[in-house]
Amino acid sequence: MDARKLIEVLRATIDPNQRQQAEEQLNQVHKIIGFAPSLLQVVMMNDVDMPVRQAGVIYLKNLVMHNWQDHEATEPGQPLPFNIHEQDRAMIRDAIVEAVVHAPDLIRVQLAICVSQIVKHDFPGGWTGIVDKVCIFLQNPDTSGWMGALLCLHQLVKNYEYKKPDERAPLNEAMHMLLPMIHQLCVQLLPDDSEQSVALQKQILKTFFALVQYFLPLDLISKEVFSQWMELVRAVIDRPVPPHTNEVDKDDRPDLIWWKCKKRALHIVTRIFERYGSPEDVSKEYKQFAEYYLKNFSGGIIEVLLKVLDQYRQNVYISPRVLQLTLSYLNVAVAHAFSWKFLKPHMLAIVHDILFPLMCYTDSDEELWETDPHEYIRMKFDIFEDFISPVMAAQTLLHTICKKRRDMLQGAMSFVLTVLTSPNPNPRHKDGALHMVGSVADILLKRKLYKDQMELMLVTHVFPEYNNPNGYLRARACWVLHHMCEIKFKSEQNLLQALEYTQHCLLNDKELPVKVEAAFALQVLITSQDKAQRLIENNIKPIILELLKIIRETENDDLTTVMQRLVCTYTDQVAPIAVEMTQHLAATFKQVLDGDEGSDEKAITAMGLLNTIETILNVMEEQKEIMVELEKIVLNVIGLIFTQSVMEFYEEALSLVYSLTCDSISVDMWKVFEMMYQLLQKDGIDYFTDMMPALHNFVTVDTPAFLSNENHLLAMFNMCKAVLSNDPGEDLECYAAKLLEVILLQCKGQVDQCVLPFVTLVLERLMKEVKTIELRTMCMLVVIAALQYNPQELLRLLEGLHLPNMTKSVTTSFIEQWIHDTDCFLGLHDRKMCVLGLCTLITLGAERPQAVTECAPMIVPSLILLFNGLKRAYASKAQAEEEDSDEDDDEDDDIDQVLESDEDDINDEAFDYLEKLQDKDDSDDDDDDSDEDDADAAETAYETYSTPLDSEDCVIDEYVIFKEVLQNIQNIDVSWYTSLTSNLTQEQQKSIMDIFVLADQRKAAAESKRIEQSGGYVFQNQTVPTSFNFGGNFS
């Protein structure tokens, strides 16, 4: 296709009336050799309309993203998937850097993505030329080519950003030449503060950050080189922005290139200090560098950052991200004695003049509160906003200095008290002071000097703000109470007052942000204060109903957590309103689902609503009449998700199905089962693991209903077959095999028609490649379950079964594999099944397969191995049951964490973790045995899905069965007994005797339990004499 024709086709793709036909044309020609280079040529034609060029570059980007790499055929015999011909790839590699250099920004962005993809697959082996081309353009005095070259370099560095040091050699080799070049370029550009120059500087800093963000290549960046870069970065931070930037609207200033450049510089110094500059927290390889950094650079960087803060103090504009990163750097510096000495003289002034104003209510807060309270709430509770917020950085720095450095808490609290006790305090200042108190509340409640005064502080300075006419101060009062929830109230009246104020704000306040803060405060008070739960018990209904309204109005995910806590705490009080609550939550879920925004926040909120509904179902499970009503509501929610194929909520919907089927299964729930079957057929099998708990319920909770309709059984089989036949991953396949085993054990004697298809399905899967022992044992357990179901019928079916590529009979192959793999059966259930299966095999008498006879010497040793594992597994289970789940947390004495001015904050846990990571390869081999022992004793993940064999009331005891079987064989078939036991070692013979002793003990214990449950062993209370007469009188 020539260039002009291609241009017309691309033009047609942006015309809705011609788009489909044009796209079909492109699909027909895109595989032709020469198409991709022609497309790049068209994209770079300056006389072509920009929309056409954009359409072309996007098509090129998608072509490169999906078809650059060579692909293998999905199945043997299938044609190779399309990839761009090497001839075309060579032409594109040769031209792409020049294209990026000369393209306008709209095109350049897409071409840079192409460069990234090409680097990913071709560098260094197939494309060393990128380094040479970048060098040529950077050395050219024509500045117009620098940005494109730097973008290509950035893509090269980004491709190695997350790779381990030993995988970065090609990049390091390239950067030995390029790093000095871009440093010199940035130094050359530094005096020029024009927009174009600063954009280039920003791009250079961005590339350097990507180079050092996760690994610092010390062989590439020597001390001299590092020093040069730090001087450059320091100069960028220190450089004033041009005066004309102040004419731009404040909201738009953070996007100006000068502030973006400063942000990049601060990213670098903060990241290096955090990751490589803290001697106490780095791994061995960076220890020397950390000492070097701390001594040589921390002081100089802090000096510049203090200048930044001084500018902010003097009302000179500083962008929020620059301010946030500045405070974050100082937060790291607080922990080190060397850097602390630079900060200490200024820190209280920073608290007064920087942190305090940042923590006060601002004009922008007020504007957002009044114009869009919903957005105000979203901003205040958005964890991602916290990462970049200067307010949160101020809060964190305040907490760090008060916790780690002596006299800082006292100085900060003295300042707070001055603000709070001034005759006519500015309300916003009062908000800032209370914000400071709440930020260090956990420290205040541990320090002896303050903890006894906190109740008085609440009563004096926080309680009055509940009646403040300013809504933000009422919200702040709730926020402070939230953070001081663990206070030990000496007066129950004060606790009652706190609860009443908070309830009043939740139920009656007109301002939505106040209601939200009150909800959080109330929840933590109930959790932390033992008496609080009782004190608000009578008001829980209006509280919950109001909370439901707030959740619907704000769609705030955190509030659903509050609701879940209240539901779990006040089960009895929730019961009368459970149906109303669930209706409300279901309606809110539909509202969120129907909303225009498809954001992650909406999805998280919707998940929280579904989880809250599930919590209500779980706490109401004993209330049968209520559950009937709840089921109707929840079924609408489940139906909405399934019928609209809202895949992101399938997991939560399937969890709801599980909750509705734990005790009984209604007619409507069997319709849901049909929907689940259709869902799996339509949306694939990736959700089978999420379905498994509910599917297990459908089989085990009401087995007669399950068996009453053959379609139920057929659907279960088809679902398992779909999983085991389509290679979705062995974890999913394990669950499918487990479900087949459960059906055979649960429905013994009632599903004869299933034995052959079940067994055939798993044996065919075993004939394919199996990578994990879990899948192999799960499939074998299905056959063992069939053996338990009907031994004679199974053997007959196996003898008649013919599978491809098998040289031996199916029966022989399976039995040999089974005996060989007995050490792969783990946990209680799997080992018990294996023991019972082997016991069944050796009792078959005349029907015994020849393979069993041939394996005879290995059977009893295999059983001994299984019993040894069972002994460990039972011991592990008993230990877990005996362990006290309520662990008392030791209350740390925070005073010990205060550092003197010449002390460093040493994070022992972080250091140990880094050392373990570094030594992991050396220690892995040594730990193999202990790890295997731990796994050997633990229950398997699949034992959650219980069978009749796992019930506490199960009368089948594997120890007793084994003893009886072996003794019976000894009595009636001596020659067979000899074949089984003649090769046993003395230690193995002793093990059998130990198993027999345990069998007797377990049998006696079971009999005692049976007698006790039937009313036996009842002893009357006897009067115990107060004195004893041994042998009568002495007279």
pLDDT digits (tens, 9 = 90+) for 265-283: 999 999 999 999 988 888 8
pLDDT tens-digit series, residues 170-210:
999 999 999 999 999 999 999 999 999 999 999 999 999 99
> 413-417, 483-487, 618-622 — which is least confidently predicted?
618-622
Whole-number pLDDT of residue 314: 95
Residue with tokens 């370029």: 185
**Does 78 score more than 80 pLDDT?**
no
Among 41, 169, 34, CA closest to 95: 41
pLDDT band at 828 (very low <50, low <70, confident <90, very high): very high
Average pLDDT over residues 128-144: 94
CA atoms within 13 A on the CB side of 347: 26
Give the start-end residues of each E strand in 305-351: none
**Does 155 score more than 80 pLDDT?**
yes
**Does 955 score more than 50 pLDDT?**
yes
| Gap between the Cα atoms of 519 and 507, Å rounded | 9
pLDDT tens-digit series, residues 419-477:
999 988 899 999 999 999 999 999 999 998 899 999 999 999 999 999 999 999 999 99
**Does 922 score more than 90 pLDDT?**
no
Distant-in-sequence, close-in-space partners of 252: CB < 8 Å, separation ≥ 6: none
Residue 228: CB atoms within 10 Å? 17
Q: Are 557 and 604 spatial neighbours (Cβ–Cβ below 8 Å)?
A: yes
Whole-number pLDDT of residue 1012: 77
Among 54, 6, 55, CA closest to 30: 6
Q: Provide the CA 214 distance to its chain's centre, in angstroms.
A: 21
Q: Provide the CA 868 distance to its chain's centre, in angstroms.
A: 37
pLDDT tens-digit series, residues 603-615:
888 898 999 999 9
pLDDT tens-digit series, residues 362-415:
999 999 999 999 999 988 888 777 788 999 999 999 999 999 998 999 999 999
**Does 935 score more than 60 pLDDT?**
no
Whole-number pLDDT of residue 896: 46
pTM of the model: 0.79
| Gap between the Cα atoms of 338 and 197, Å rounded | 36
**Does 885 score more than 70 pLDDT?**
no
Cα→Cα distances 590→454, 639, 959, Å: 44, 12, 55
> 18-22, 32-36, 70-74, 780-784 — which is least confidently predicted?
70-74
Whole-number pLDDT of residue 952: 83
pLDDT tens-digit series, residues 545-592:
999 999 988 888 889 889 989 998 998 999 999 999 999 999 999 988
pLDDT tens-digit series, residues 969-997:
999 999 999 999 999 999 999 999 999 99
Residue by residue, DSSP assigns 388-413 as: H-HHHHHHHHHHHHHHHBTTHHHHHH
| Gap between the Cα atoms of 259 and 147, Å rounded | 18
| Gap between the Cα atoms of 217 and 236, Å rounded | 23
Residue with tokens 């705030």: 556
Whole-number pLDDT of residue 883: 66
Residue by residue, DSSP assigns 495-543 as: HHHHHHHHHHHHHH-S-HHHHHHHHHHHHHHHHH-HHHHHHTGGGHHHH
Report which DSSP code applies to 729. -
Whole-number pLDDT of residue 887: 45
Residue 899, SS3 per DSSP: strand
603, with CB counted inside 10 A (0-12, 13-18, 19+), is: middle
Whole-number pLDDT of residue 929: 44
Report which DSSP code applies to 490. S
Among 229, 405, 206, CA closest to 300: 229
Average pLDDT over residues 87-98: 95
| Gap between the Cα atoms of 10 and 678, Å rounded | 41
Residue 708, SS3 per DSSP: coil
Q: Are 82 and 32 spatial neighbours (Cβ–Cβ below 8 Å)?
A: no
Residue 792: CB atoms within 10 Å? 10
**Does 1023 score more than 60 pLDDT?**
no
> 441-445, 644-648, 672-676, 914-918 — which is least confidently predicted?
914-918
Among 566, 565, 656, CA closest to 617: 656
pLDDT band at 1028 (very low <50, low <70, confident <90, very high): very low
- By 3-state DSSP, what share of the chain in percent is helix, strand and coil, each rounded to 5? 75, 0, 25
Tell me the percentage of the chain whose pLDDT exceeds 70.
91
How confident is the prediction for the chain on average, in pLDDT? 89
